Chains A and B, each alone.
Chain A
Amino acid sequence: MTIASIIEFIYILAAIAFIFGLKMLSKAETARQGNLVSSIGMLMAVVATLVHQNVLSYQWIIAGGVIGASIGAIGAFRVKMTGMPEMVALFNGFGGAASLLVGLGEILSPGNISLIAISASYLAILIGSVTLTGSIIAWAKLAERMNTGAIFFKGQKYVNGLVATLLLVGGAIAVGALPHAMEIFLGLTALALVFGLLLVLPIGGADMPVVIALLNSYSGIAASAAGFAIGNNVLIVAGSLVGASGLILTNIMCKSMNRSLASVLFASLSDAPGKKKS
């Protein structure tokens, strides 16, 4: 067996660990072991990637890994039990940021990548950006670092619609115009970051747990898009598992609050009677 096929095999084992981990996490008796199984899957995926032939230098990887692991560990140990949900939001934002940066790296680096890879990179940027800024707002509202009420302006639904259209149409144009459209991509990235703010600011603090569950689903989809961008199976599998199961969990959480997802997301932007609930 070549090293490349051993790596692919370890990726498959990692994907299986994620699947079993998620399944075990959804039952009280096995939840803690499930988390452990899933973390072993992650370790396998990381180690397999580190020995991949396309990884040529290690200093930047080690630097980023050491700093990131320290920040993550300190954050996880220092957070109070009551502050867990907002900590999850913050961690989730970093996951979105990672997909955003991977997508940006693919697009901005010279080299002939395929149209599919460019489109996927743009999707990773788009969804990763929304996840990043949306999660920061979710964190700030839950941690009461900002006004926890619904913050919106008159006619915002039209602005949101316009921004969404710009992101899609602009993205299609920029993808078609590569490699002469670097500035457009940077502009669209900035716009996508603003879009995350516009989406989450109008939602009241009481609904934030549902929003975090949805943003978690987004960060999975962003990782999956990054997987298409670099043609990597384990990213696609793990990302879409989180994306789909996150959506289901969001739905379950909405139901347990007797709300619909639409009313959580758009209540204050529409004239629906659900407005005062949050």
Chain B
Amino acid sequence: MLLLFVFALSIFLGFELISKVPSQLHTPLMSGSNAISGIAIVGAIFAAGHTSNPDLKTYLGFFAVLAATINVVGGYLVTDRMLKMFRVERRDSQ
């Protein structure tokens, strides 16, 4: 029940968090929030490390860690690259 409470509040917060976004920021924002969805890495770590005798869940967890890390590391780096470019462009145009 507490989890549901947390879920409901976060959904509402997510709806309220973003209102006016300049169109140049659409892609970076999408990319940045995509990196956050890589939070599945937490579940992946629990699965991959749940026992010292590897079983099916360990192997699924290994691939989950692999996939989630690609999402997290790649997501944050690519967002930073986009935003770095964005700043340079703005300075040039002024």
Contacts and interface: CB of A to CB of B under 8 A. Distances in A.
Interface of A: 18-19, 21-23, 25-28, 31-32, 34-36, 38-39, 41-42, 45-46, 49-50, 52, 54-58, 60-61, 63-65, 67-69, 71-73, 75-77, 79, 81, 84-85, 87-88, 91-92, 94-95, 97-99, 101-102, 104-106, 108-109, 209, 212-213, 216, 219-220, 222-224, 226-249, 252-253, 256
B40 to A, nearest CB: 4
B70 A71 contact: yes
B48 A60 contact: yes
Interface in B49-64: 49-52, 54-64
Contacts of B79: 35
Contacts of B49: 54-58, 60-61
Contacts of B30: 88, 209, 212-213, 216, 246, 249
Nearest to B41: A46
Contact of B66 (A49, A67, A99, A213): A67
17 contacts: A21-B32, A26-B19, A54-B50, A72-B73, A76-B73, A84-B81, A87-B78, A95-B67, A101-B67, A102-B64, A223-B43, A244-B11, A244-B12, A244-B13, A245-B14, A247-B15, A256-B26
Nearest to B77: A76
| Interface SS of B by simple majority | helix
A98 B44 contact: yes
A229 B84 CA distance: 37
Nearest to A75: B74
B41 to A, nearest CB: 6
B43 A18 contact: no
Contacts of A239: 10, 37, 39-40
User: What 3 pairs across the A-B complex have the smallest Cβ distances?
Assistant: A244-B14, A68-B69, A64-B65
Interface string B68-94: 111111111111111111110010000
B7 A228 contact: yes
A264 to B, nearest CB: 15
A18 B76 CA distance: 12
B57 A64 contact: no
A61 B81 contact: no
A95 B71 contact: yes
B60 A94 contact: no
A242 to B, nearest CB: 4
Give the most central of A85, A101, A224: most B CB within 10 Å. Answer: A101
Interface in B1-22: 3, 6-7, 10-15, 17-22
Contact of A88 (B7, B34, B48, B58): B34
B32 A35 contact: yes
Contacts of A88: 27, 30-31, 34, 75, 78
Contact of B57 (A72, A77, A109): A109
Contacts of A87: 74, 78
A140 B27 CA distance: 18
Give the most central of A49, A84, A105, A213: most B CB within 10 Å. Answer: A105
Contacts of A237: 6, 10
A68 B63 CA distance: 9
B55 to A, nearest CB: 7
Contact of B33 (A55, A106, A216): A216
